[in-house]
Amino acid sequence: MDHTANYDKYKMSKLFTTGNSEAIRLRKKDTELLDLNPSDQFIKEISLDGRSISYNKFSKISQENKKEIANILNEDSDLIWALKDL
C-alpha cells in the first residue's frame, strides 16, 4: 500500500545517503524561492515528538548594523560589565 498516494509529489522528499551522511534533497525551485545558496548556514530545530525538523536560515548582518552594535557596546560597556554577574 502506498501511503504517499494522497500527497502532491512535488511536496515529497526522500532521505538519501551521500558519503557518511544522510540528506534530504530540495528542489531547485524551492531553493530559488527561498533565495538559498550553498554557503548559507542554518540552525536545525527538531520537534519534541521527533516527527518534524525545521531549518532556519541565519540572517546576514550588514556592515552598518555591525558598526552600530559595536558603538552601542562601546558606549554602554560599563553597564554591560555591571550586568554580567547578575
For every residue of 19-36, DSSP letters joined together read TTEEEE---HHHHHHTT-
Query: pLDDT, tens digit, for every residue of 73-86?
Result: 888 888 877 887 77
Per-residue pLDDT at 45: 95
Handedness of CA 9, 15, 18, 22 (dihedral sign): positive
Write out pLDDT tens, residues 19-69: 999 999 888 999 999 999 888 999 999 999 999 999 998 887 888 888 888
Burial of 59 (0-12, 13-18, 19+ CB in 10 A): exposed
Quote the pTM value. 0.53
**pLDDT at residue number 83:** 81
